[in-house]
Amino acid sequence: MKTTKLFRNSKTILGKCIRMVGAITLSLSALSAQANQLSAIQERGELVVAVPQDFPPFGSVGKDLQPVGYDVDMAAFLAESMDLKLKLVPVTSANRIPYLQTGKVDLVISSMGKNAEREKVVDFSRAYAPFFLGVFGESQATVKSPADLAGKVVGVTRGSVEDLELTKVAPSSVTIQRFEDNNTTISAYLSGQVEFIATGNLVAAKIAERQSNRDLVSKFMIKNSPCYIGMRKSEPELLSKVNTLVAQGIQSGKLDELSIKWFKATLPEELK
């Protein structure tokens, strides 16, 4: 009698187990049936995008506490082109990939650069935003490559990545003036103490915002690390859709418009 009860008990547990396994298998098969994330998104009617909230001009909190920035406008452009509602999820650079992996977001548009580690877990679209270190100078200056800098004076912030890269590529006749920090480097340029500066395009955008008698445009890149849109691996339909839209945006001049709005400069040729 006792044995039977025990047996019956274990049978129930066993049954539960079997049912659970069945359920998991079922949901798994349901998932695989809907492996195409693009159609899942379209069915839902809403595009969920991870955007930065602490990294202007890519993404920051605007005056009405809504996220604003290049990445936010980019997300809006994609959603609009796909005829979807847009849901923004603010992320940090540390949690943006986990958000993507756990399915909390469809796309990561969060000033994300490409590297080998990330490529293992994320598929990247084509580049959608410029992020580079370059040599900048007045628009009338005719400099297109490191060799053209010969005999010129270039300011740079000492010990920065741009300092190391510039030192590598600049001819020996270039006078590299190294300053303590970014602001001193900027002052040296604005006061005319140096003809060119090597810096990032975001810093250059900030300078261009200031009212100054010297304009600042990009002359050439010394290190290019553009931003890519990230999505879950093995979603070829979604990837090709996003790539097509980015290409359309570049062709139609929409991205140029966004670039001028947020970075105060047109997209660099390398991106097009």
Question: Binding of other proteins at residue 184 (CB under 8 A)?
Answer: yes
Alpha-carbon distance of 42 to 84, in angstroms, equals 7
Alpha-carbon distance of 111 to 263, in angstroms, equals 13
Residue closer to other proteins (CB basis): 129 or 207: 207
Question: Binding of other proteins at residue 183 (CB under 8 A)?
Answer: no
Alpha-carbon distance of 138 to 153, in angstroms, equals 13
Residue closer to other proteins (CB basis): 54 or 180: 180
Residue closer to other proteins (CB basis): 106 or 163: 163
Question: Binding of other proteins at residue 155 (CB under 8 A)?
Answer: yes
Strand arrangement of the beta sheet that strand 67-68 belongs to: 54-55, 59-61, 67-68
Per CB under 8 A, the segment of 133-141, 179-187, 198-206, 234-242 that binds other proteins is 179-187
* Contact characters 192-221, other proteins, x per CB under 8 A: xx----------------------------
Residue closer to other proteins (CB basis): 119 or 180: 180
Residue closer to other proteins (CB basis): 138 or 257: 138
Backbone dihedral region of 83: left (phi > 0), alpha (psi from -120 to 50 degrees) or beta?
Answer: left
Name the site residues for other proteins (rule: CB under 8 A).
155, 158-159, 163-164, 177-180, 184, 187-188, 191-193
